[in-house]
Amino acid sequence: MTDLSGIWAIEKVSFLTPWSRLSFLAELGHSFSHPLVAGPPPPQPWQVWGYLIYWVVAEEMHILNLAVHPEQRRRGVARRLLATAMTQARDLGAQVAWLEVRPSNDPALSLYHSFGFRQVGRRPRYYDDTQEDALLLAFYWEEGEGEESGQ
Q: Which CATH superfamily is domain 4-140 in?
A: Gcn5-related N-acetyltransferase (GNAT) (3.40.630.30)
The overall pTM is greater than 0.85 = yes
Model confidence at 1, pLDDT cuts 50, 70, 90, reads very low
The kind and range of the H/E element at 23 are helix 21-28
pLDDT tier for residue 151 given thresholds of 50, 70 and 90: very low
Instruction: Please say if the pLDDT value at position 134 is more than 90.
Output: yes
Q: pLDDT class for 58, splitting at 50, 70, 90? A: very high
Element (H, E) at 1: none
**137 and 63 in contact (C-beta within 8 Å)?**
no
* Mean pLDDT across 95-102: 97
